Structure 1
Amino acid sequence: MTMTAPDPLRDPQAFLLHLYRVAVQRAQPLHSMAQHLPPPPKGRTVVLGAGKAGASMAQALEALWPQDAPLSGLVVTRYGHIPPRPEGLAQRLEVVEAAHPVPDAAGLAAAERILALTRGLTEDDLVLCLISGGGSALLTLPAEGITLEEKQRINRALLESGAAIGEMNCVRKHLSRIKGGRLAAACAPARVVTLTISDVPGDDPSVIASGPTVPDASTCADALDILARYHIDIPAAVHAALQAGALETPKPGDVRFAGHAVHMIATPQQSLQAAADAARAAGVAAYILSDEMEGESREVGKVHAALARAVARHGQPFARPCVILSGGETTVTV
Protein backbone atom coordinates (compact mmCIF):
# COMPACT_ATOMS: atom_id res chain seq x y z
CA MET A 1 0.00 0.00 0.00
CA THR A 2 1.44 3.36 -1.07
CA MET A 3 0.83 6.31 1.26
CA THR A 4 0.98 9.89 0.02
CA ALA A 5 3.03 12.20 2.22
CA PRO A 6 1.51 15.48 3.47
CA ASP A 7 3.49 18.66 2.77
CA PRO A 8 6.23 18.60 5.46
CA LEU A 9 6.47 22.40 5.68
CA ARG A 10 2.75 23.21 5.65
CA ASP A 11 1.72 20.46 8.04
CA PRO A 12 4.77 19.02 9.84
CA GLN A 13 2.66 17.18 12.43
CA ALA A 14 0.75 15.28 9.73
CA PHE A 15 4.04 14.60 7.96
CA LEU A 16 5.58 13.06 11.08
CA LEU A 17 2.46 10.96 11.61
CA HIS A 18 2.84 9.78 8.00
CA LEU A 19 6.43 8.70 8.67
CA TYR A 20 5.27 6.80 11.75
CA ARG A 21 2.65 4.94 9.71
CA VAL A 22 5.23 4.08 7.05
CA ALA A 23 7.49 2.63 9.75
CA VAL A 24 4.65 0.54 11.19
CA GLN A 25 3.62 -0.65 7.74
CA ARG A 26 7.15 -1.94 7.12
CA ALA A 27 6.87 -4.15 10.18
CA GLN A 28 3.57 -5.78 9.18
CA PRO A 29 4.22 -9.54 8.93
CA LEU A 30 2.16 -10.07 5.78
CA HIS A 31 4.72 -8.06 3.79
CA SER A 32 7.83 -9.86 5.02
CA MET A 33 6.95 -13.41 6.08
CA ALA A 34 6.56 -15.23 2.77
CA GLN A 35 10.26 -15.33 1.86
CA HIS A 36 11.10 -17.08 5.14
CA LEU A 37 8.51 -19.87 5.09
CA PRO A 38 9.80 -23.44 4.60
CA PRO A 39 7.86 -25.93 2.47
CA PRO A 40 5.22 -28.06 4.21
CA PRO A 41 6.77 -31.13 5.91
CA LYS A 42 6.03 -34.80 5.49
CA GLY A 43 4.27 -34.80 8.85
CA ARG A 44 2.29 -32.18 10.77
CA THR A 45 2.81 -28.41 10.86
CA VAL A 46 2.23 -27.06 14.37
CA VAL A 47 2.24 -23.33 15.06
CA LEU A 48 3.20 -22.00 18.50
CA GLY A 49 3.42 -18.28 19.15
CA ALA A 50 3.54 -15.49 21.69
CA GLY A 51 3.81 -11.71 21.51
CA LYS A 52 1.95 -8.48 20.93
CA ALA A 53 2.21 -9.09 17.17
CA GLY A 54 1.13 -12.73 17.55
CA ALA A 55 -2.37 -12.39 16.10
CA SER A 56 -1.14 -10.39 13.08
CA MET A 57 1.60 -12.96 12.48
CA ALA A 58 -0.93 -15.80 12.76
CA GLN A 59 -3.22 -14.15 10.20
CA ALA A 60 -0.30 -13.60 7.83
CA LEU A 61 0.71 -17.26 8.12
CA GLU A 62 -2.87 -18.41 7.51
CA ALA A 63 -2.96 -16.32 4.34
CA LEU A 64 0.45 -17.47 3.07
CA TRP A 65 0.49 -21.16 4.00
CA PRO A 66 -0.76 -23.48 1.21
CA GLN A 67 -4.50 -23.95 1.65
CA ASP A 68 -4.22 -27.69 0.97
CA ALA A 69 -1.52 -28.18 3.63
CA PRO A 70 -2.61 -28.95 7.22
CA LEU A 71 -1.97 -26.18 9.76
CA SER A 72 -2.88 -26.06 13.44
CA GLY A 73 -1.66 -24.46 16.64
CA LEU A 74 -2.05 -21.86 19.35
CA VAL A 75 -0.82 -18.26 19.64
CA VAL A 76 -1.16 -15.94 22.66
CA THR A 77 -1.28 -12.16 22.30
CA ARG A 78 -2.07 -9.14 24.45
CA TYR A 79 -5.63 -8.16 25.32
CA GLY A 80 -7.06 -5.99 22.53
CA HIS A 81 -4.35 -6.90 20.01
CA ILE A 82 -6.34 -9.15 17.67
CA PRO A 83 -6.85 -7.24 14.40
CA PRO A 84 -10.03 -7.56 12.30
CA ARG A 85 -9.94 -10.72 10.22
CA PRO A 86 -9.67 -10.05 6.47
CA GLU A 87 -12.78 -11.05 4.58
CA GLY A 88 -12.54 -14.57 3.22
CA LEU A 89 -9.53 -15.60 5.36
CA ALA A 90 -10.29 -18.92 7.03
CA GLN A 91 -9.16 -19.28 10.63
CA ARG A 92 -6.87 -22.28 11.04
CA LEU A 93 -5.00 -21.18 14.17
CA GLU A 94 -6.38 -20.49 17.64
CA VAL A 95 -5.47 -17.10 19.12
CA VAL A 96 -6.02 -16.33 22.82
CA GLU A 97 -5.40 -13.18 24.85
CA ALA A 98 -3.53 -12.55 28.09
CA ALA A 99 -2.00 -9.71 30.13
CA HIS A 100 1.09 -7.64 29.38
CA PRO A 101 3.47 -6.44 30.84
CA VAL A 102 2.55 -8.23 34.09
CA PRO A 103 1.48 -11.84 33.44
CA ASP A 104 -1.89 -13.24 34.48
CA ALA A 105 -3.68 -16.57 34.80
CA ALA A 106 -4.75 -16.48 31.14
CA GLY A 107 -1.10 -16.29 30.06
CA LEU A 108 -0.23 -19.15 32.38
CA ALA A 109 -3.02 -21.30 30.91
CA ALA A 110 -1.90 -20.45 27.35
CA ALA A 111 1.72 -21.34 28.10
CA GLU A 112 0.67 -24.68 29.60
CA ARG A 113 -1.38 -25.46 26.48
CA ILE A 114 1.46 -24.41 24.15
CA LEU A 115 3.94 -26.63 25.96
CA ALA A 116 1.44 -29.50 25.84
CA LEU A 117 1.25 -29.20 22.04
CA THR A 118 4.93 -30.20 21.81
CA ARG A 119 4.19 -33.70 23.12
CA GLY A 120 4.32 -36.48 20.58
CA LEU A 121 6.11 -34.53 17.85
CA THR A 122 8.27 -36.56 15.46
CA GLU A 123 11.20 -35.85 13.15
CA ASP A 124 8.71 -35.61 10.26
CA ASP A 125 6.91 -32.67 11.90
CA LEU A 126 7.55 -28.94 11.55
CA VAL A 127 7.01 -26.41 14.32
CA LEU A 128 6.61 -22.79 13.23
CA CYS A 129 7.16 -20.45 16.18
CA LEU A 130 5.81 -16.90 15.83
CA ILE A 131 7.69 -14.78 18.37
CA SER A 132 7.44 -11.03 18.97
CA GLY A 133 7.92 -8.47 21.72
CA GLY A 134 5.77 -8.96 24.79
CA GLY A 135 6.18 -12.72 24.70
CA SER A 136 8.06 -12.70 28.00
CA ALA A 137 4.92 -11.74 29.91
CA LEU A 138 2.41 -13.51 27.67
CA LEU A 139 4.25 -16.84 27.71
CA THR A 140 4.49 -17.26 31.46
CA LEU A 141 5.14 -20.65 33.01
CA PRO A 142 6.91 -20.26 36.36
CA ALA A 143 9.72 -22.60 37.36
CA GLU A 144 9.08 -25.18 40.04
CA GLY A 145 8.71 -23.52 43.43
CA ILE A 146 7.39 -20.20 42.08
CA THR A 147 3.71 -19.29 42.15
CA LEU A 148 2.05 -17.03 39.60
CA GLU A 149 1.68 -14.38 42.29
CA GLU A 150 5.41 -14.47 43.06
CA LYS A 151 6.23 -14.31 39.34
CA GLN A 152 3.95 -11.26 39.01
CA ARG A 153 5.69 -9.54 41.94
CA ILE A 154 9.16 -10.25 40.53
CA ASN A 155 8.04 -9.05 37.09
CA ARG A 156 6.69 -5.78 38.50
CA ALA A 157 9.89 -5.24 40.46
CA LEU A 158 11.98 -5.76 37.33
CA LEU A 159 9.80 -3.37 35.31
CA GLU A 160 10.11 -0.67 37.97
CA SER A 161 13.82 -1.18 38.67
CA GLY A 162 15.20 0.50 35.56
CA ALA A 163 16.86 -2.75 34.47
CA ALA A 164 17.66 -3.06 30.76
CA ILE A 165 15.53 -5.45 28.70
CA GLY A 166 18.36 -7.98 28.42
CA GLU A 167 18.77 -8.03 32.20
CA MET A 168 15.05 -8.46 32.80
CA ASN A 169 14.84 -11.29 30.31
CA CYS A 170 17.87 -13.06 31.76
CA VAL A 171 15.98 -13.35 35.04
CA ARG A 172 12.73 -14.30 33.32
CA LYS A 173 14.46 -17.13 31.41
CA HIS A 174 15.84 -18.74 34.53
CA LEU A 175 12.55 -18.51 36.43
CA SER A 176 10.57 -20.16 33.62
CA ARG A 177 9.79 -23.65 32.34
CA ILE A 178 9.22 -22.47 28.75
CA LYS A 179 11.51 -19.50 28.00
CA GLY A 180 15.27 -19.46 27.44
CA GLY A 181 15.19 -22.15 24.73
CA ARG A 182 13.03 -24.57 26.69
CA LEU A 183 10.11 -24.42 24.25
CA ALA A 184 12.25 -25.46 21.28
CA ALA A 185 13.99 -28.14 23.35
CA ALA A 186 10.58 -29.60 24.17
CA CYS A 187 9.80 -29.83 20.44
CA ALA A 188 12.60 -32.34 19.77
CA PRO A 189 12.93 -34.27 17.50
CA ALA A 190 10.74 -32.03 15.29
CA ARG A 191 12.35 -29.27 13.24
CA VAL A 192 11.70 -25.75 14.58
CA VAL A 193 11.61 -22.62 12.44
CA THR A 194 11.26 -19.38 14.37
CA LEU A 195 9.82 -16.30 12.66
CA THR A 196 10.42 -13.29 14.88
CA ILE A 197 9.79 -9.57 14.97
CA SER A 198 12.46 -7.72 16.94
CA ASP A 199 11.67 -5.03 19.49
CA VAL A 200 15.03 -5.06 21.29
CA PRO A 201 18.32 -3.23 20.72
CA GLY A 202 20.67 -5.44 18.73
CA ASP A 203 17.93 -7.78 17.45
CA ASP A 204 19.25 -10.66 19.56
CA PRO A 205 16.71 -13.52 19.22
CA SER A 206 17.72 -14.81 22.65
CA VAL A 207 16.43 -11.54 24.15
CA ILE A 208 13.20 -11.14 22.13
CA ALA A 209 10.39 -12.54 24.30
CA SER A 210 13.13 -14.11 26.46
CA GLY A 211 14.17 -16.42 23.62
CA PRO A 212 11.83 -19.41 24.06
CA THR A 213 13.14 -21.13 20.91
CA VAL A 214 16.88 -20.37 20.92
CA PRO A 215 19.79 -21.47 23.14
CA ASP A 216 20.66 -19.23 26.07
CA ALA A 217 24.24 -18.25 26.87
CA SER A 218 23.36 -16.53 30.17
CA THR A 219 23.59 -18.42 33.45
CA CYS A 220 21.89 -18.84 36.80
CA ALA A 221 24.78 -16.82 38.27
CA ASP A 222 24.01 -13.97 35.88
CA ALA A 223 20.37 -14.00 36.99
CA LEU A 224 21.40 -13.91 40.66
CA ASP A 225 23.74 -10.96 40.01
CA ILE A 226 20.93 -8.99 38.35
CA LEU A 227 18.47 -9.74 41.15
CA ALA A 228 21.04 -8.57 43.70
CA ARG A 229 21.96 -5.44 41.70
CA TYR A 230 18.36 -4.24 41.68
CA HIS A 231 17.53 -5.48 45.20
CA ILE A 232 14.76 -7.84 44.06
CA ASP A 233 13.75 -10.54 46.54
CA ILE A 234 12.89 -14.08 45.45
CA PRO A 235 11.73 -17.11 47.48
CA ALA A 236 14.55 -18.77 49.42
CA ALA A 237 14.03 -22.11 47.67
CA VAL A 238 14.31 -20.44 44.26
CA HIS A 239 17.44 -18.56 45.35
CA ALA A 240 18.96 -21.86 46.40
CA ALA A 241 17.98 -23.50 43.10
CA LEU A 242 19.67 -20.69 41.16
CA GLN A 243 22.79 -20.99 43.30
CA ALA A 244 22.90 -24.73 42.65
CA GLY A 245 22.38 -24.23 38.90
CA ALA A 246 19.19 -26.31 39.01
CA LEU A 247 17.31 -23.75 36.88
CA GLU A 248 19.90 -23.59 34.11
CA THR A 249 18.71 -23.01 30.53
CA PRO A 250 19.67 -25.03 27.40
CA LYS A 251 23.00 -23.75 26.07
CA PRO A 252 24.48 -23.15 22.59
CA GLY A 253 25.64 -26.44 21.15
CA ASP A 254 22.76 -28.43 22.63
CA VAL A 255 21.90 -31.13 20.07
CA ARG A 256 18.19 -30.46 20.49
CA PHE A 257 18.64 -27.25 18.46
CA ALA A 258 20.32 -28.99 15.50
CA GLY A 259 18.64 -28.09 12.22
CA HIS A 260 16.58 -25.29 13.73
CA ALA A 261 16.33 -21.91 11.96
CA VAL A 262 15.58 -18.35 13.10
CA HIS A 263 14.38 -15.68 10.65
CA MET A 264 14.09 -12.01 11.59
CA ILE A 265 11.11 -10.83 9.55
CA ALA A 266 11.00 -7.27 10.88
CA THR A 267 13.43 -5.10 12.87
CA PRO A 268 13.54 -1.53 14.21
CA GLN A 269 16.28 -0.64 11.71
CA GLN A 270 14.09 -1.70 8.79
CA SER A 271 11.24 0.49 10.02
CA LEU A 272 13.58 3.42 10.64
CA GLN A 273 14.97 3.04 7.13
CA ALA A 274 11.47 2.98 5.65
CA ALA A 275 10.61 6.22 7.46
CA ALA A 276 13.87 7.81 6.32
CA ASP A 277 13.23 6.81 2.71
CA ALA A 278 9.72 8.29 2.89
CA ALA A 279 11.09 11.57 4.28
CA ARG A 280 13.72 11.84 1.56
CA ALA A 281 11.12 11.07 -1.11
CA ALA A 282 9.23 14.13 0.16
CA GLY A 283 12.36 16.27 -0.14
CA VAL A 284 13.33 16.29 3.53
CA ALA A 285 16.74 15.08 4.71
CA ALA A 286 16.58 12.21 7.21
CA TYR A 287 19.17 10.99 9.71
CA ILE A 288 19.00 7.76 11.69
CA LEU A 289 20.90 8.11 14.95
CA SER A 290 20.68 4.48 16.03
CA ASP A 291 18.32 1.55 16.40
CA GLU A 292 19.92 0.60 19.72
CA MET A 293 19.02 3.51 22.02
CA GLU A 294 18.96 2.49 25.68
CA GLY A 295 19.04 4.31 29.01
CA GLU A 296 16.72 6.23 31.30
CA SER A 297 13.84 7.60 29.23
CA ARG A 298 13.92 11.12 30.69
CA GLU A 299 17.64 11.45 29.97
CA VAL A 300 17.41 10.11 26.42
CA GLY A 301 14.50 12.51 25.85
CA LYS A 302 16.61 15.46 26.98
CA VAL A 303 19.39 14.51 24.57
CA HIS A 304 16.93 14.27 21.70
CA ALA A 305 15.43 17.65 22.56
CA ALA A 306 18.87 19.27 22.79
CA LEU A 307 19.83 17.87 19.40
CA ALA A 308 16.60 19.15 17.83
CA ARG A 309 17.19 22.64 19.32
CA ALA A 310 20.75 22.70 17.99
CA VAL A 311 19.51 21.92 14.50
CA ALA A 312 16.73 24.52 14.70
CA ARG A 313 18.90 27.31 16.13
CA HIS A 314 22.33 26.70 14.62
CA GLY A 315 21.91 24.23 11.77
CA GLN A 316 24.21 21.82 13.57
CA PRO A 317 24.97 18.96 13.36
CA PHE A 318 22.39 18.79 10.53
CA ALA A 319 20.93 21.47 8.28
CA ARG A 320 17.23 22.20 8.62
CA PRO A 321 14.69 21.11 7.56
CA CYS A 322 15.34 17.51 8.48
CA VAL A 323 13.97 14.63 10.49
CA ILE A 324 16.00 12.82 13.15
CA LEU A 325 15.05 9.20 13.76
CA SER A 326 16.03 6.67 16.39
CA GLY A 327 14.87 3.41 17.93
CA GLY A 328 15.69 1.18 20.84
CA GLU A 329 14.29 0.43 24.29
CA THR A 330 14.60 3.03 26.99
CA THR A 331 13.71 2.30 30.60
CA VAL A 332 11.89 4.05 33.42
CA THR A 333 12.94 3.68 37.05
CA VAL A 334 9.79 4.04 39.20
Structure 2
Amino acid sequence: MDTDRSVGWDGDVATDTATDVFEEHRPVLMGVAYRMLGRVADAEDVVQDAWLRWSADERAEVREPRAYLVRITTRLAIDRLRAAQSRRESYVGPWLPEPLVTDFGPTVPDTAEQAVLADSVSLAVLVVLESLSPLERAVFVLREAFGFPFAEIANTLDRSEAAVRQLAGRARKHVEEGRPRYEVDPAQRRDLTERFLAAASDGDLDGLMSLLAPDVHLVGDSGGKARAPLRVVESADKVGRFFIGVAAKGVADAAATLDYRFLELNGAESVLLLVDGKPDSVLQLEVADGRVQRVFIVRNPDKLVGLAG
Protein backbone atom coordinates (compact mmCIF):
# COMPACT_ATOMS: atom_id res chain seq x y z
CA MET A 1 0.00 0.00 0.00
CA ASP A 2 1.07 3.56 -0.70
CA THR A 3 1.61 4.95 2.77
CA ASP A 4 4.07 7.69 1.85
CA ARG A 5 2.23 9.81 -0.65
CA SER A 6 0.14 12.51 1.05
CA VAL A 7 -3.20 13.92 0.02
CA GLY A 8 -4.90 17.15 0.88
CA TRP A 9 -8.11 18.99 0.02
CA ASP A 10 -9.75 22.38 0.35
CA GLY A 11 -6.34 23.99 -0.14
CA ASP A 12 -4.97 22.68 3.15
CA VAL A 13 -1.44 21.43 3.53
CA ALA A 14 -1.41 17.67 2.94
CA THR A 15 -1.02 15.91 6.25
CA ASP A 16 -2.73 12.52 6.01
CA THR A 17 -1.43 9.59 4.04
CA ALA A 18 -3.62 7.68 1.61
CA THR A 19 -3.96 4.86 4.11
CA ASP A 20 -4.90 7.17 6.98
CA VAL A 21 -7.66 8.80 4.97
CA PHE A 22 -9.04 5.49 3.76
CA GLU A 23 -8.99 3.90 7.22
CA GLU A 24 -10.81 6.91 8.65
CA HIS A 25 -13.73 6.21 6.33
CA ARG A 26 -13.55 2.40 6.28
CA PRO A 27 -16.42 1.92 8.83
CA VAL A 28 -18.81 3.91 6.62
CA LEU A 29 -17.66 2.07 3.51
CA MET A 30 -18.16 -1.33 5.20
CA GLY A 31 -21.54 -0.17 6.47
CA VAL A 32 -22.69 0.80 2.99
CA ALA A 33 -21.30 -2.34 1.34
CA TYR A 34 -22.77 -4.76 3.91
CA ARG A 35 -26.23 -3.19 3.75
CA MET A 36 -26.05 -3.38 -0.02
CA LEU A 37 -24.90 -7.01 -0.20
CA GLY A 38 -25.88 -8.76 3.04
CA ARG A 39 -22.58 -10.67 3.11
CA VAL A 40 -19.57 -9.68 5.20
CA ALA A 41 -17.07 -11.32 2.84
CA ASP A 42 -18.60 -9.61 -0.19
CA ALA A 43 -18.58 -6.27 1.61
CA GLU A 44 -14.91 -6.72 2.53
CA ASP A 45 -14.07 -7.53 -1.09
CA VAL A 46 -15.84 -4.39 -2.28
CA VAL A 47 -14.03 -2.23 0.26
CA GLN A 48 -10.72 -3.78 -0.76
CA ASP A 49 -11.50 -2.99 -4.40
CA ALA A 50 -12.34 0.56 -3.35
CA TRP A 51 -8.95 0.80 -1.66
CA LEU A 52 -7.21 -0.33 -4.85
CA ARG A 53 -9.08 2.33 -6.83
CA TRP A 54 -8.29 4.96 -4.20
CA SER A 55 -4.60 4.11 -4.01
CA ALA A 56 -4.24 4.19 -7.80
CA ASP A 57 -6.26 7.35 -8.49
CA GLU A 58 -4.94 10.88 -8.71
CA ARG A 59 -6.04 11.96 -5.25
CA ALA A 60 -4.71 15.51 -5.41
CA GLU A 61 -7.94 16.49 -7.18
CA VAL A 62 -10.16 14.95 -4.50
CA ARG A 63 -11.80 17.62 -2.33
CA GLU A 64 -14.17 15.42 -0.34
CA PRO A 65 -12.60 12.00 0.29
CA ARG A 66 -15.63 10.60 2.13
CA ALA A 67 -18.03 11.36 -0.71
CA TYR A 68 -15.50 10.13 -3.27
CA LEU A 69 -14.93 6.82 -1.46
CA VAL A 70 -18.64 6.24 -0.84
CA ARG A 71 -19.27 6.82 -4.54
CA ILE A 72 -16.66 4.20 -5.53
CA THR A 73 -17.90 1.71 -2.93
CA THR A 74 -21.56 2.13 -3.86
CA ARG A 75 -20.92 1.62 -7.56
CA LEU A 76 -18.80 -1.47 -6.91
CA ALA A 77 -21.50 -2.84 -4.59
CA ILE A 78 -24.21 -2.29 -7.21
CA ASP A 79 -22.18 -4.25 -9.77
CA ARG A 80 -21.60 -7.11 -7.32
CA LEU A 81 -25.25 -7.11 -6.20
CA ARG A 82 -26.46 -7.47 -9.78
CA ALA A 83 -24.25 -10.54 -10.19
CA ALA A 84 -25.29 -11.93 -6.80
CA GLN A 85 -29.01 -11.60 -7.50
CA SER A 86 -28.80 -14.04 -10.40
CA ARG A 87 -26.95 -16.54 -8.20
CA ARG A 88 -29.51 -16.20 -5.40
CA GLU A 89 -32.27 -17.29 -7.76
CA SER A 90 -30.81 -20.81 -7.57
CA TYR A 91 -30.09 -20.66 -3.81
CA VAL A 92 -31.34 -23.74 -1.95
CA GLY A 93 -34.09 -22.71 0.48
CA PRO A 94 -34.71 -19.25 1.95
CA TRP A 95 -31.87 -16.73 1.83
CA LEU A 96 -30.90 -14.72 4.91
CA PRO A 97 -28.09 -12.18 5.34
CA GLU A 98 -24.82 -13.26 6.86
CA PRO A 99 -25.00 -12.49 10.60
CA LEU A 100 -22.97 -9.42 11.50
CA VAL A 101 -21.60 -8.74 14.97
CA THR A 102 -22.77 -5.24 15.84
CA ASP A 103 -21.18 -3.17 18.56
CA PHE A 104 -21.39 0.49 17.66
CA GLY A 105 -19.49 1.49 20.80
CA PRO A 106 -18.20 5.03 21.34
CA THR A 107 -18.20 5.86 17.61
CA VAL A 108 -21.97 6.34 17.74
CA PRO A 109 -22.65 8.25 20.98
CA ASP A 110 -26.13 9.40 20.02
CA THR A 111 -28.80 6.86 21.00
CA ALA A 112 -31.17 7.88 18.22
CA GLU A 113 -28.44 7.52 15.60
CA GLN A 114 -27.47 4.12 17.00
CA ALA A 115 -31.10 2.99 16.76
CA VAL A 116 -31.27 4.02 13.11
CA LEU A 117 -28.05 2.16 12.29
CA ALA A 118 -29.20 -0.96 14.15
CA ASP A 119 -32.57 -0.96 12.41
CA SER A 120 -31.05 -0.54 8.95
CA VAL A 121 -28.85 -3.61 9.49
CA SER A 122 -31.52 -5.82 11.10
CA LEU A 123 -32.21 -9.21 9.54
CA ALA A 124 -35.83 -8.24 8.90
CA VAL A 125 -34.94 -5.06 7.01
CA LEU A 126 -32.13 -6.69 5.05
CA VAL A 127 -34.53 -9.41 3.94
CA VAL A 128 -36.91 -6.74 2.63
CA LEU A 129 -34.04 -4.94 0.88
CA GLU A 130 -33.44 -8.11 -1.14
CA SER A 131 -36.64 -7.38 -3.07
CA LEU A 132 -35.47 -3.91 -4.17
CA SER A 133 -33.63 -3.17 -7.37
CA PRO A 134 -29.90 -2.45 -6.91
CA LEU A 135 -30.47 1.28 -7.50
CA GLU A 136 -33.40 1.42 -5.07
CA ARG A 137 -31.36 -0.40 -2.48
CA ALA A 138 -28.42 1.97 -2.91
CA VAL A 139 -30.64 5.02 -2.53
CA PHE A 140 -32.36 3.57 0.54
CA VAL A 141 -29.07 2.68 2.24
CA LEU A 142 -27.38 5.99 1.53
CA ARG A 143 -30.41 8.08 2.48
CA GLU A 144 -32.08 6.17 5.32
CA ALA A 145 -29.07 4.60 7.03
CA PHE A 146 -26.44 7.30 6.51
CA GLY A 147 -28.44 10.44 5.79
CA PHE A 148 -26.67 11.46 2.58
CA PRO A 149 -28.30 14.45 0.82
CA PHE A 150 -30.28 13.65 -2.34
CA ALA A 151 -27.90 15.77 -4.42
CA GLU A 152 -24.91 13.75 -3.25
CA ILE A 153 -26.70 10.45 -3.89
CA ALA A 154 -27.59 11.68 -7.38
CA ASN A 155 -23.93 12.40 -8.05
CA THR A 156 -22.94 8.98 -6.71
CA LEU A 157 -25.37 7.17 -9.00
CA ASP A 158 -25.11 9.47 -12.03
CA ARG A 159 -28.83 10.17 -11.85
CA SER A 160 -30.83 13.35 -11.59
CA GLU A 161 -31.91 14.46 -8.14
CA ALA A 162 -35.54 14.10 -9.19
CA ALA A 163 -34.93 10.48 -10.24
CA VAL A 164 -33.19 9.74 -6.92
CA ARG A 165 -36.09 11.21 -4.96
CA GLN A 166 -38.46 8.96 -6.92
CA LEU A 167 -36.29 5.90 -6.23
CA ALA A 168 -36.16 6.84 -2.55
CA GLY A 169 -39.93 7.14 -2.33
CA ARG A 170 -40.50 3.74 -3.91
CA ALA A 171 -37.86 2.06 -1.77
CA ARG A 172 -39.12 3.61 1.48
CA LYS A 173 -42.70 2.60 0.73
CA HIS A 174 -41.68 -0.96 -0.07
CA VAL A 175 -39.56 -1.30 3.07
CA GLU A 176 -42.25 0.17 5.31
CA GLU A 177 -44.77 -2.31 3.91
CA GLY A 178 -42.46 -5.26 4.47
CA ARG A 179 -40.74 -4.51 7.77
CA PRO A 180 -42.23 -5.53 11.15
CA ARG A 181 -44.66 -2.98 12.55
CA TYR A 182 -43.75 -3.40 16.19
CA GLU A 183 -41.11 -2.19 18.57
CA VAL A 184 -38.87 -4.75 20.20
CA ASP A 185 -37.99 -4.48 23.88
CA PRO A 186 -34.44 -5.90 24.24
CA ALA A 187 -35.11 -7.15 27.78
CA GLN A 188 -38.28 -8.91 26.65
CA ARG A 189 -36.45 -10.47 23.71
CA ARG A 190 -33.72 -11.80 26.03
CA ASP A 191 -36.27 -13.20 28.48
CA LEU A 192 -38.32 -14.91 25.77
CA THR A 193 -35.18 -16.27 24.10
CA GLU A 194 -34.00 -17.86 27.36
CA ARG A 195 -37.45 -19.35 28.00
CA PHE A 196 -37.61 -20.53 24.37
CA LEU A 197 -34.28 -22.34 24.69
CA ALA A 198 -35.24 -23.89 28.03
CA ALA A 199 -38.58 -25.19 26.75
CA ALA A 200 -37.03 -26.62 23.58
CA SER A 201 -34.17 -28.35 25.41
CA ASP A 202 -36.61 -29.81 27.97
CA GLY A 203 -38.89 -31.12 25.24
CA ASP A 204 -41.70 -29.00 26.67
CA LEU A 205 -44.00 -28.53 23.67
CA ASP A 206 -46.76 -26.85 25.68
CA GLY A 207 -44.28 -24.44 27.21
CA LEU A 208 -42.83 -23.65 23.81
CA MET A 209 -46.27 -23.16 22.27
CA SER A 210 -47.14 -20.65 24.98
CA LEU A 211 -44.27 -18.44 23.80
CA LEU A 212 -45.16 -18.50 20.11
CA ALA A 213 -47.64 -16.27 18.33
CA PRO A 214 -50.32 -18.36 16.57
CA ASP A 215 -49.07 -17.24 13.14
CA VAL A 216 -45.35 -17.36 13.96
CA HIS A 217 -42.99 -17.87 11.00
CA LEU A 218 -39.73 -19.81 10.99
CA VAL A 219 -37.19 -18.85 8.31
CA GLY A 220 -34.15 -21.10 8.02
CA ASP A 221 -31.09 -20.55 5.82
CA SER A 222 -28.84 -23.52 5.09
CA GLY A 223 -27.96 -22.99 1.44
CA GLY A 224 -28.36 -26.75 1.10
CA LYS A 225 -25.23 -27.26 3.22
CA ALA A 226 -26.89 -28.14 6.55
CA ARG A 227 -30.24 -29.39 7.81
CA ALA A 228 -32.87 -26.64 7.88
CA PRO A 229 -36.40 -26.13 6.53
CA LEU A 230 -36.38 -25.55 2.77
CA ARG A 231 -39.55 -23.49 3.05
CA VAL A 232 -40.84 -20.98 5.58
CA VAL A 233 -42.59 -22.87 8.40
CA GLU A 234 -45.84 -21.27 9.60
CA SER A 235 -48.00 -21.71 12.74
CA ALA A 236 -47.10 -22.24 16.38
CA ASP A 237 -47.76 -25.98 16.24
CA LYS A 238 -45.42 -26.63 13.32
CA VAL A 239 -42.67 -24.33 14.58
CA GLY A 240 -42.90 -25.75 18.10
CA ARG A 241 -42.70 -29.35 16.92
CA PHE A 242 -39.76 -28.51 14.68
CA PHE A 243 -37.71 -27.20 17.60
CA ILE A 244 -38.69 -30.07 19.88
CA GLY A 245 -37.46 -32.44 17.17
CA VAL A 246 -34.19 -30.54 16.75
CA ALA A 247 -33.59 -30.57 20.52
CA ALA A 248 -34.33 -34.30 20.74
CA LYS A 249 -31.82 -35.04 18.02
CA GLY A 250 -29.21 -32.96 19.83
CA VAL A 251 -29.75 -34.88 23.07
CA ALA A 252 -29.54 -38.18 21.21
CA ASP A 253 -26.18 -37.23 19.72
CA ALA A 254 -24.22 -37.87 22.91
CA ALA A 255 -20.89 -37.72 21.09
CA ALA A 256 -21.26 -34.01 20.39
CA THR A 257 -20.64 -31.22 22.88
CA LEU A 258 -23.38 -28.61 22.62
CA ASP A 259 -23.13 -25.10 23.96
CA TYR A 260 -24.53 -21.66 23.20
CA ARG A 261 -23.82 -18.05 23.96
CA PHE A 262 -25.63 -14.77 23.57
CA LEU A 263 -24.21 -12.03 21.37
CA GLU A 264 -25.49 -9.03 19.48
CA LEU A 265 -25.98 -9.70 15.80
CA ASN A 266 -27.50 -7.24 13.34
CA GLY A 267 -28.47 -4.91 16.14
CA ALA A 268 -30.34 -7.52 18.21
CA GLU A 269 -29.41 -10.06 20.86
CA SER A 270 -29.09 -13.49 19.30
CA VAL A 271 -27.95 -16.99 20.17
CA LEU A 272 -24.93 -18.71 18.66
CA LEU A 273 -25.14 -22.50 18.96
CA LEU A 274 -21.77 -24.25 19.13
CA VAL A 275 -21.17 -27.92 18.39
CA ASP A 276 -17.81 -29.18 19.60
CA GLY A 277 -16.79 -25.55 19.97
CA LYS A 278 -17.55 -24.62 16.36
CA PRO A 279 -20.39 -22.34 15.15
CA ASP A 280 -23.33 -24.46 14.05
CA SER A 281 -26.34 -22.11 13.99
CA VAL A 282 -27.49 -18.61 14.75
CA LEU A 283 -30.93 -18.13 16.26
CA GLN A 284 -32.70 -14.78 16.45
CA LEU A 285 -36.26 -14.14 17.60
CA GLU A 286 -38.54 -11.29 16.63
CA VAL A 287 -40.76 -10.49 19.58
CA ALA A 288 -43.90 -8.41 20.07
CA ASP A 289 -46.82 -8.42 22.50
CA GLY A 290 -45.05 -10.96 24.70
CA ARG A 291 -44.87 -13.61 21.95
CA VAL A 292 -42.35 -14.76 19.37
CA GLN A 293 -43.52 -13.49 15.97
CA ARG A 294 -40.73 -14.74 13.75
CA VAL A 295 -37.70 -17.00 14.15
CA PHE A 296 -34.58 -16.71 12.01
CA ILE A 297 -32.07 -19.56 11.85
CA VAL A 298 -28.83 -19.31 9.88
CA ARG A 299 -27.09 -22.66 9.39
CA ASN A 300 -25.19 -22.16 6.15
CA PRO A 301 -21.61 -22.77 7.35
CA ASP A 302 -20.27 -20.22 4.87
CA LYS A 303 -22.19 -17.51 6.75
CA LEU A 304 -20.89 -18.54 10.18
CA VAL A 305 -17.16 -18.39 9.51
CA GLY A 306 -16.87 -14.89 10.93
CA LEU A 307 -18.33 -16.01 14.27
CA ALA A 308 -15.65 -18.61 14.98
CA GLY A 309 -13.26 -17.95 17.83
Do Structure 1 and Structure 2 share a fold, with TM-score over 0.5? no
* TM-score relative to the length of structure 2: 0.26
**Structure 1-normalised TM-score?**
0.25
More helix by proportion, 1 or 2?
A: 2
